[in-house]
Structure 1
């Protein structure tokens, strides 16, 4: 599953979320993390409807906020994980 992470290099909250996402992805080989620097990808950011950083996007769903805790991030990712064959939501990675 692909996770898009919209960030800027000057955002301390983005750095924090980046560290959390890297740990999650390292423990879950079926997850793919793509980091998008909004300052150098303005058109892509606009097309995705991103107006705030940090933003985590999976498909058409986005998680954004001033304080994204590890629990909020994990919960958001778990909501979008599904079994390949059955389409049922999984409770873990």
Structure 2
């Protein structure tokens, strides 16, 4: 049994409510970052209670958002080229 509310909702079969809860939390977290509200970021992070599943879903959501933003700003091919270039530079050290 988990103490994390979204995961408890998922375990109970209420996936839609869990997704709504997580969406609201992700938007609150994003707004806190954008407003440079460190205390709010810390408070929202504490709601995760170290839940790796919730942290993974937040990371996946923001990764998707970042990829979509890069594609919208620079075009998919340019975004791919820039990320590949950065990855190769980092791997080559």
TM-score class normalised by the smaller sequence: under 0.3
- Structure number with greater CO (CA < 8 Å, separation at least 6) is 1
Looking at secondary structure, tell me which structure has more strand per residue: 1
Looking at secondary structure, tell me which structure has more helix per residue: 2
**TM, length-normalised to structure 1:** 0.28
